[in-house]
């Protein structure tokens, strides 16, 4: 202790303090009617696992991309049925939850090569598109904030390009179709338009054609054979040492070591 009464640095015994475990608040949720208590910060997907469910369906990317985890829920004291992606929605106290990992929507079978990229193709394969009543429920249900009614209106008008571009972010979760009073399957109409657009409207990507040519010409064969001889640890080491592409990279960026690119 110094004269001032302030403990000098040397006189203080260093005492290791253990980090305090932060107790997470638990909230009740109901999964298909059964009550569980789960940490308040969890997404519905993690809460289901915390409650003991093993997700073998209705769970894919865990990051809001694959659309596999469509979920229906209702908040207490609300008459409304809400929908969302289980991996993106945080639980709320007393939430009632049920998953719809697959929606059995109408899906046309076709050969994209032989279909004309015109509005009549959508009308022929999905004539129910004209039953849309313009209620906008699909747009309000969409977890990707897509103007679903907007692209369905374009489908009715026969504008394949507008449907393709307007639905580009669709993750095929099926939540719009689950709510539609006209029994449209919006995401299947949208993917038909995107296929027509990609196959018949936009010019073929030259860089992709070149890449296919390189694969067919066995450009990567030597590097591939070398990699196949490595064991798991060696492969992990190579993977970890790979140069990462910068967040903002030019169109023609390649790593400094391009040996695995056949160069
Ligand atoms: S929910 Fe169905 S009927 Fe309503 S706007 Fe969307 S597509 Fe049309
Ligand atoms: S358009 Fe429909 S299927 Fe696509 S992401 Fe939105 S709700 Fe899901
Ligand atoms: S798990 Fe892929 S979107 Fe939720």
pLDDT band at 247 (very low <50, low <70, confident <90, very high): confident
Which tokens is 252 given?
């023609």
Say yes or no: CB of residue 149 within 6 Å of ligand 2. Answer: no
Q: 72 pairs with which residues across the strands? A: 83, 98
Cβ burial, residue 82 (10 Å; 0-12/13-18/19+): middle
Ligand nearest to the CA of 184: 1
pLDDT-derived band at 7, boundaries 50, 70, 90: very low
Q: Give residue-wise pLDDT tens across range 122-132.
A: 999 999 999 99
Euclidean distance between CA atoms 163 and 31, whole angstroms:
36
CB-ligand 3 contact for 55 (6 Å cutoff): no
141 Cα nearest atom in ligand 1 = 1
Ligand index nearest the alpha carbon of residue 86: 3
Of 127, 128, 129, 134, which is best to mutate to test ligand 1, by the most ligand atoms within 8 angstroms of its C-beta?
134
> Is pTM, for the whole model, over 0.75?
yes
Q: Which two tokens stand for residue 243?
A: 């140069």
């Amino acid at each position: 202790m110094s004269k001032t009464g302030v403990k000098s640095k040397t006189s203080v015994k260093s005492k290791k303090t253990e980090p305090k475990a932060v107790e997470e608040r638990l909230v009740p949720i109901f999964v298909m009617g059964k009550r569980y208590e789960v940490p308040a910060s969890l997404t519905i997907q993690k809460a289901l696992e915390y409650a003991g469910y093993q997700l073998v369906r209705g769970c894919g990317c865990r990051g809001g991309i694959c659309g596999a985890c469509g979920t229906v829920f209702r908040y207490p004291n609300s008459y409304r049925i809400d929908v969302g992606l289980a991996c993106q929605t945080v639980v709320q106290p007393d939430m009632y939850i049920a998953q719809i990992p697959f929606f059995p929507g109408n899906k046309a079978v076709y050969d994209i090569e032989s279909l004309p990229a015109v509005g009549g193709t959508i009308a022929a394969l999905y004539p129910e598109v004209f039953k849309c009543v313009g209620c906008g429920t699909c747009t309000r249900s969409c977890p990707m904030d897509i103007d679903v009614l907007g692209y369905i209106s374009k489908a009715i008008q026969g504008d394949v390009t507008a449907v393709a571009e307007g639905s580009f972010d669709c993750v095929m979760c099926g939540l719009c179709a689950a709510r539609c009073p006209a029994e449209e399957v919006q995401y299947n109409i949208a993917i038909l338009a995107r296929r027509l657009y990609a196959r018949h409207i936009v010019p073929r990507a030259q860089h992709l054609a070149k890449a296919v040519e390189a694969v067919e010409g066995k450009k990567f064969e030597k590097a591939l054979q070398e990699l196949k001889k490595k064991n798991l640890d060696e492969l992990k080491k190579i993977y970890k040492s790979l140069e990462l592409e910068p967040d903002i990279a030019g169109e023609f960026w390649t790593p400094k070591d391009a040996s695995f690119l056949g160069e």
